[in-house]
Structure 1
């Protein structure tokens, strides 16, 4: 058993995928959350998948977390993670496909990349997100992780639909220069350079993805540009959370969920 990633939280069970069937279940939920709704709406650029699975080569490298409703056995949330001893290994991460992470190669501490996070579209219990973060907090504490990172996605590729949220990121949450990712992907929106507007806080909050909100509440920071992924119909920003910088009150809350 891996520290912190198995147990019961309220009505939910948290465990790691242990079989190929478990991984396939995670891939089916990811497909449902990321692709199926776009296929149904006929969204431009949406891939046609005959097998109903969202998978890639990184699935074999990652551990997959499953959160299931205890009564029904329904898989309600999944995410995957990959751990690195230090920044010298960061080029092997999923994020490194899209961002120039050379600055992070000198990072000395343990790093963990979290990705493909999704909640079943028919489930709206806020406890699911809390349970997920509680599990990850327990793992981070038990394994001495110092930097949590990943890609946080906005739905849609039109930056104007997220202008206030992106402006808020520019004004409050751009990462430190010594860790900031460089542009690598061919299609990006350099919101820190291009946006001049003052963000409307209410509209920004409505447009901000829930996962990204959680990162930011933990003191997280983002890249100065968003990568436009037309295949999945999203825009994503690189997101980092330095564990030592998480506000004490937030740490206390997360650990109370994790216990």
Structure 2
């Protein structure tokens, strides 16, 4: 996930006119239920101070835990060009009020305004052009180390599914990262092994395949290791996500990034019922 320069335009805390986006201040339905059971509350950021909380969490996880090199204009915060154009989903610990999980969502209208998605900087997405009118990009996902359990993830996904349905959007894309050290294995070999597994079982149709701009040299790495994908990638796959192509190498974040796509129509029945109520 390459960091990009900060825009010169002033920050706009509301990225779309209120009448064009169904985004309640607090998530409802399944997301609220899942959050309550996990002791967390889910809501969309309403102003810059709340977005700054998400950016501080991102900095702590990406720079503090993963060792990412972040060129940020705000010390202690992960800030890039796309933040000004995204909606930011927050999960708070109900006891402390601290933001413990976040996603950012780039809508089709805002992607047109900024000129691309973040994934466009890592991959040639030409084959996805017919999907773009109803396609959102998910990015900068992270959860505080003390809260990496199913309840937080379910709360996030319940809110995202509700957002998609309310706004008549049907496709999600994003870059799923494999960190430098994954289960004790340097990520080059780990990513090559995970790629070799998933290309056999979870590839998208060839019509949607994409190409990395800075490819990880998977053919020169040991792809024969029995490596489990990271928990977040396994979660995406359970929700019906598909891999779009070979991983890109992100030197700033020190990760191998897999391009992934998920469509609301592909949600398994048990998750459709949980997230969408039908």
Structure 2 length as normaliser, TM-score? 0.77
Query: Unaligned stretches of 5+ in structure 1?
Result: 40-44
Instruction: Give SS of 2:135's match.
Output: strand
Give structure 1 regions of 4+ aligned residues with deviation exceeding 4 angstroms.
47-50, 85-91, 193-199
Aligned to 2:81: 57
Query: Unaligned stretches of 5+ in structure 2?
Result: 1-21, 181-185
Higher alpha-carbon deviation: 4-13 or 223-232: 4-13
Q: By how many angstroms is 1:190 displaced?
A: 5.6
Superposed, 1:23-172 pairs within 5 Å as 23-39=51-67, 46-47=69-70, 51-84=75-108, 92-107=116-131, 110-156=134-180, 158-172=187-201
From 24, 39, 48, the counterpart of 1:20? 48
Distance 1:77 1:105, change over 3 A: same
C-alpha distance in structure 2 between counterparts of 1:129 and 1:155, whole Å: 19
Aligned to 1:173: 202
- Deviations 1:177-204 (CA, angstroms, capped at 9, x unpaired): 1111123x2x31264x67896674xx32
C-alpha distance in structure 1 between counterparts of 2:169 and 2:114, whole Å: 14
Distance 1:254 1:4, change over 3 A: farther
Aligned to 2:255: 234
From 239, 262, 266, the counterpart of 1:218? 239
Q: By how many angstroms is 1:214 displaced?
A: 1.9
- Deviations 1:219-255 (CA, angstroms, capped at 9, x unpaired): 2111221111111111101110122122223322333
Aligned to 2:216: 189
Higher alpha-carbon deviation: 63-72 or 243-252: 243-252
C-alpha distance in structure 2 between counterparts of 1:48 and 1:92, whole Å: 20
Aligned to 1:42: none
Instruction: Give SS of 1:122's match.
Output: helix
RMSD between superposed Cα atoms in Å: 2.9
Q: By how many angstroms is 1:96 displaced?
A: 0.7
Whether the 8 Å CA contact 1:113–1:149 is kept in 2: the answer is: yes
Aligned to 2:18: none
Whether the 8 Å CA contact 1:83–1:112 is kept in 2: the answer is: yes
Distance 1:46 1:88, change over 3 A: closer
Q: How many positions carry a matched residue from both structures?
A: 244
C-alpha distance in structure 1 between counterparts of 2:71 and 2:110, whole Å: 37
Whether the 8 Å CA contact 2:188–2:221 is kept in 1: the answer is: no
Whether the 8 Å CA contact 2:195–2:246 is kept in 1: the answer is: no
C-alpha distance in structure 1 between counterparts of 2:167 and 2:50, whole Å: 24
Q: By how many angstroms is 1:168 displaced?
A: 1.4
C-alpha distance in structure 2 between counterparts of 1:57 and 1:190, whole Å: 28
Instruction: Give SS of 2:207's match.
Output: coil
